[in-house]
Structure 1
């Protein structure tokens, strides 16, 4: 909907407003709306328009600031929800992404909420790196007048669950800020912890700001985006159109190309977005787990107002293929095993991480038996959460379809099969089946709005979004160059979408393709080696304004690529390693270096 349909502006002014707000993200729009509200108040009182200064002390004392750092969008969604609730309660609130938050304003803040995720091995999200580094440095000011609260998001299958949230919570307290409520630590079933935390945070905000003088309310120029009919809590049953293995017979990896129909759903997505999939657990795994705990799957279990058989809870409501720290801790207490309790100590962090990478819930139950009741088991297991897959298609090309590139996680442990919940679920879908799906927007992983060059680094299934990127750029006739770096073990069996890439090169839709097949020679070659070989060319592209994208494994590949980029920038520009990393961080803040890592 355009501004013309919701605004009383004179007709000749409407195009100017549309041009002004075009391309602005939420933080900029929120600042602009606040500034214009101030102008309106000044003019109604006969005064002159207020100057466009960042913020006044009076405003900070009368306002709630919500800062978020988000990699996949959950922290952003919760921060915006808190902002809407605060506004509906009559409070003055602004929601700001961490990388555009003016750090100079921190000392003036009086009420600050931070919603932030932890990525991989205790890393901050890309958009919050500067904020986290600043608060941890000696430059951070004393915050004697600040009241704050932190909501952390994470994954308890990692030993350093919500580490960044805890780090910021402790650091703000050390800077003399006053904690309003304990830091929230939300697992991948985000809403379980997040919703009660938001309620408490809102109540504290009311109490802190109840004596403040409210600023003028602002009617938005554009209506809020409507909630789609199908979403995370109400997924669309998408018919499977194609499920095709795209690795060769000799490959030890089973990678699938899936095509699903979105016909009639009204769902829309952009290149860079993800498809959320709600899996169900394998019946064989559920049966094995029931035998391990010696419980009847037909026993009724009640959670809140819902009663279901134990088997049903385990099949589609509980996480079974990933161990989590809370469940591990609860089981250690039940079986009284000192060795398990020792693994929960800080000194055993690496050993616990190794165990979590190998064992699933079933392995813990078998190796360390302990008595469980049905009710206690369901309560202790983490709720099943959807899996997000980078979309491998452009909707401008495939219409009411969505394509995925899925690696079937399938391995043996102690001679018995193990697998990933969602990858097994999807790999087993046939053309007569459906899959419950929804769209998860990823606004920080977008093609440039202009015609700039792009560099795409996507080994393995990390190549998925770049298939969408190239399709989209070809469809709209973008003039910028496209450079793809792809890696996998073997050329003959693991070259995903080989024919498509070769055709794109021939058609001029892909301008450069660098390949790294790690096991086709005695020395392993990865994408970072190809980056080093092309260091001069890469720096020239980036220095000339190109956008850089990385997608794939967060634990090793993304870190190795980042360190390689630092070395390339330092070597090609004469910067120190520290200055080279600062230059790359500037690209992140500008949206020119984006990562979709997992």
Structure 2
């Protein structure tokens, strides 16, 4: 479209020049010109000198931008993934960026920050992740400084099936404002399907920053594409998982066990995926087709109805979408609130009343969408419309049980099949039972690597390590020892492992015994809770070795805990505190400070779920 003389503020000659110039500009040149004019309008001293010929140059006086600090509190590594992308993009846009894990950042440096992007997950019942505890406590203490002049934006990661959804991010957002900070961009809360909302949050932040910045094209001018550029390699990630072929799928438990623990070996050849011991592998699972059919029948939906499954307009049948796309096996307050608007059932609306909070929590625990439909349906909209209130099936993360050095192009997993009865129906874990019952060698699973820098072996291979785990919590320690065997680590290694029965449930027993014999594993203490009249757990074994455990701590040992958070990890934590008090002659407060110091030194690391 060309400028018209009658409607523009330019004279006829200027209009002609603009109409000749603008259509010939590249998008990059338009961006530069926009920033250049903005700077002039703001009274800046920017000057442009344009010369003809091959030596054409664009010169601008640089416009100072505020330094951006990214702080990350992460448990599973999702926050780190978002932070990495944000840091890379900001640097591409010529911003000065510093990024820290919250346990690496000195809280007293808060007042030196100009623009703060805080990315944090929420752990357990609304608690900050382990690497954010010290910063969280400092910020909510009387020592926290006034933060006038600091701008901030918070990205909160969470799981809406929990009562205190994104609570840590909400707390940080509120506290930063209370201390005088200015909100650069509103907080965004992300569910397990965090890619899209986190991208929208970052774009909002970036747009706000770019509004204040006159962009320079000096760094990008003169760049030319060259013929014969190498082809880009496809990058596999959470949003683009790799279809990994199953090589082995073995039940690790013996006959008669109450449990079924699968050892999966997957082929990563051609994926360019790499991992380190301590990382997790994400699997994008499918719902059981039988369960999807039962839901369709209960809701009286048409299984062949067309459903739009994403913003790109891709479609699927309702049945396929309930198998491959949407979560149907769990309930949350958020889902109940949306479903209540789709029915006249007063019982469901009553469940959301403030005085029914406990009843709501009781109802959502152990029930799924079939229960909700049978109890409070039918819904007054079609199945395709109903899917709009459902969230996507979240990937399942499993601690990697192998070393890439020991198993090139492979990744191994240890997955406990979840089966239980609840409210008159048999239930199964979405991903664990897919792996146990519906995945055989030759099949593929869509996977991606989830880095976890908060659960790493010490760089000093002579440092002692203490590994504590129960059940499938043994997985990362198998990866640790495979790695230490490959790099010929010399440091002592002590393993505590717990399960139900020695005969049927001693996972990877032959491998541990081999490493013990070879000296790679210095010692191993086991607890099989159902083999004795009095149940013995890993925390009991730790307390039995109180003195030696403390001596290892004093010698610089790094302690790892992997497994169930609500019971095992909590009890282990209390056992370690007890040992520190007893053997160190410390009171409760001093023992807590000892633990906090271990955390700050990255010597107390947990991968709990």
TM-score grouping bracket, smaller chain normalisation: 0.7 to 0.9
Q: Contact 1:228–1:267 (CA<8 Å) still a contact in 2? A: no
Write out aligned runs for 1:122-271 (5 A).
122-207=126-211, 210=213, 229-271=235-277
| Counterpart position of 1:381 | 390
| Counterpart position of 1:119 | 123
CA distance in 2, matches of 1:518, 1:511: 23
Structure 1 residue 343, shift from structure 2 partner = 5.1
Report SS of the residue matched to 2:209: helix
1:467 and 2:482 equivalent? no
CA distance in 1, matches of 2:117, 2:275: 30
Q: Which consecutive aligned stretches of 4+ in structure 1 deviate over 4 angstroms post-superposition?
A: 336-354
The structure with the largest alpha-carbon Rg is 2
Deviates more, 1:432-441 or 1:82-91: 82-91
Report SS of the residue matched to 2:103: helix
Report SS of the residue matched to 2:341: helix
Q: Deviations over 1:557-581 (max 9, x none)?
A: 2222222222211221122222222
Q: Deviations over 1:441-471 (max 9, x none)?
A: 2122111111111100110100001011112
Residue 319 (structure 2) aligned to one of 293, 311, 314: 311
Write out aligned runs for 1:466-505 (5 A).
466-505=477-516
1:561 and 2:572 equivalent? yes
Residue 432 (structure 2) aligned to one of 423, 426, 431: 423
Q: Contact 1:331–1:370 (CA<8 Å) still a contact in 2? A: no
Q: Contact 1:61–1:110 (CA<8 Å) still a contact in 2? A: no
Structure 1 residue 351, shift from structure 2 partner = 5.0
Number of aligned residue pairs: give it: 530
**Structure 2 unaligned regions, length at least 5:** 1-62, 221-231
Deviates more, 1:330-339 or 1:359-368: 330-339
Q: Deviations over 1:169-212 (max 9, x none)?
A: 111122222223332110110113111111111122334x5389
| Counterpart position of 1:359 | 367
Residue 422 (structure 2) aligned to one of 413, 420, 424: 413
| Counterpart position of 1:301 | 307
CA distance in 2, matches of 1:350, 1:475: 52
Structure 1 residue 382, shift from structure 2 partner = 0.7
Q: Contact 2:347–2:376 (CA<8 Å) still a contact in 1? A: no
CA distance in 2, matches of 1:593, 1:190: 28
CA distance in 2, matches of 1:167, 1:486: 36
Structure 1 residue 399, shift from structure 2 partner = 2.4
CA distance in 2, matches of 1:508, 1:272: 22
Report SS of the residue matched to 2:173: helix
| Counterpart position of 1:434 | 444
Report SS of the residue matched to 1:556: helix
| Counterpart position of 2:332 | 324
Structure 1 residue 227, shift from structure 2 partner = 8.0
Q: 1:122 to 1:60 in 2, by over 3 A?
A: farther
- Aligned alpha-carbon RMSD (Å): 2.5
**Structure 1 unaligned regions, length at least 5:** 1-58, 218-225
| Counterpart position of 1:85 | 89
1:544 and 2:544 equivalent? no
Structure 1 residue 276, shift from structure 2 partner = 1.3
CA distance in 2, matches of 1:347, 1:537: 51
Residue 453 (structure 2) aligned to one of 433, 440, 443: 443
CA distance in 1, matches of 2:347, 2:530: 38
Deviates more, 1:528-537 or 1:227-236: 227-236
CA distance in 2, matches of 1:343, 1:569: 46
CA distance in 2, matches of 1:445, 1:456: 11
Q: Deviations over 1:369-408 (max 9, x none)?
A: 2414223321111111221111111122222221111111
CA distance in 2, matches of 1:342, 1:412: 27
Q: 1:577 to 1:267 in 2, by over 3 A?
A: same
Q: Contact 2:367–2:423 (CA<8 Å) still a contact in 1? A: no
Structure 1 residue 492, shift from structure 2 partner = 2.3
CA distance in 2, matches of 1:274, 1:167: 28
Q: Contact 2:68–2:116 (CA<8 Å) still a contact in 1? A: yes
Report SS of the residue matched to 2:203: helix
TM-score, normalised via structure 2 length = 0.82
Q: Deviations over 1:479-521 (max 9, x none)?
A: 1111111111222222211222222222222211111122223
CA distance in 2, matches of 1:100, 1:396: 29
Structure 1 residue 527, shift from structure 2 partner = 1.1
Structure 1 residue 228, shift from structure 2 partner = 6.4
| Counterpart position of 2:288 | 282
Q: Contact 1:60–1:109 (CA<8 Å) still a contact in 2? A: no
Q: 1:436 to 1:331 in 2, by over 3 A?
A: same
Structure 1 residue 60, shift from structure 2 partner = 12
Q: 1:159 to 1:337 in 2, by over 3 A?
A: farther
CA distance in 1, matches of 2:108, 2:290: 57
Q: Contact 2:65–2:95 (CA<8 Å) still a contact in 1? A: no
Report SS of the residue matched to 2:202: helix
Structure 1 residue 288, shift from structure 2 partner = 0.8
Q: Contact 2:259–2:416 (CA<8 Å) still a contact in 1? A: yes
CA distance in 2, matches of 1:541, 1:347: 51
CA distance in 2, matches of 1:490, 1:346: 45
CA distance in 2, matches of 1:111, 1:433: 48
TM-score, normalised via structure 1 length = 0.84
CA distance in 2, matches of 1:170, 1:509: 49
Q: Deviations over 1:51-89 (max 9, x none)?
A: xxxxxxxx9982122211111111112122222222223
Structure 1 residue 334, shift from structure 2 partner = 2.7
Report SS of the residue matched to 2:256: coil
Q: 1:502 to 1:338 in 2, by over 3 A?
A: farther
Structure 1 residue 91, shift from structure 2 partner = 2.5
Structure 1 residue 552, shift from structure 2 partner = 0.9
Report SS of the residue matched to 1:397: coil
Structure 1 residue 355, shift from structure 2 partner = 3.8
Q: 1:396 to 1:83 in 2, by over 3 A?
A: closer
| Counterpart position of 2:401 | 392
CA distance in 2, matches of 1:317, 1:65: 36
Structure 1 residue 342, shift from structure 2 partner = 5.7
